[in-house]
Amino acid sequence: MGTVKVTNLEPIADNGTLTVGSSGDTVTFPSGVTVSGLTQGITVADLFRLSATATGDQNPLSSNWERADTDGAGVIGTGMTESSGVFSFPSTGIWRIEFIGYFYYNGDSRGIACEIKTTTNGSSFDRASSAGVFIQQTQSNNTYSGGYCTFIMDVTSTSTHKVQFRAGASSVNVVGETGDNTTHAVFTRLGDT
């Protein structure tokens, strides 16, 4: 079949429907083609993890963050950037933020922090989502527990909209590993604002 070259395709009727192909067909865009005006799927997905264990109430959890880089880990698009525990978004849009805190302690501890904190002015962080975590010792050594929280954020400015995390409590260990995801955060751009 030949190639059709045009600069504009429009339906016969104004505001009508233009159909490309039919059910079961595959429409292919060659590599390097830019398509505009379409609603895209997920364009950014990223995961950062704590690479070393921290002890105590980490407010914020500010050091030893790394992008997951083992076991086939991947990133879609331009990922997040992190500095001293503050995460910046690469683009505006609606973002899903997930935080998983993993803890251990040799004793009983209630009120262990597992929080997502956001700012829309670049400096004042507020708790946007939290999970209640406690450890009740069941044996004479370390007992583990975890928490999960999530938030959907409308990022209208990459310079002022940022996120950080709080984790832990007095003497509680916030687990970090460089080889797998224990305490970690997932960032997914869901779509346009």
What are the tens digits of pLDDT across the range 172-185? 999 999 999 999 99
At 80, which CATH number? 2.60.120.40
- DSSP conformation class of 31: T
Q: Which two tokens stand for residue 89?
A: 């978004």
Q: Quickly state the pLDDT bin for 92 (edges 50, 70, 90).
A: very high
Q: Count the domains in the chain.
A: 1
Q: Is residue 109 part of a domain?
A: yes
Q: Is 143 a domain residue?
A: yes
Q: Is residue 30 part of a domain?
A: no
| Domain-embedded: residue 106 | yes
Would you say residue 16 lies in a domain?
A: no
Q: What is the pTM of this model?
A: 0.81
Any domain includes 33:
no
Tell me, yes or no, whether 21 lies in a domain. Answer: no
pLDDT digits (tens, 9 = 90+) for 22-35: 887 887 777 777 77
Cα gap 15→41, rounded to integer Å: 25
Task: Report if residue 116 sits inside a domain.
Answer: yes
Which residues have C-beta within 8 Å of that of residue 20, sequence separation ≥ 6? 27
Question: What does the pLDDT look like over 68-91, one tens digit per residue?
Answer: 999 999 999 999 999 999 999 999
159 is in which domain, residue-wise?
44-191
Helix, strand, coil content of the chain in percent (nearest 5) = 0, 40, 60
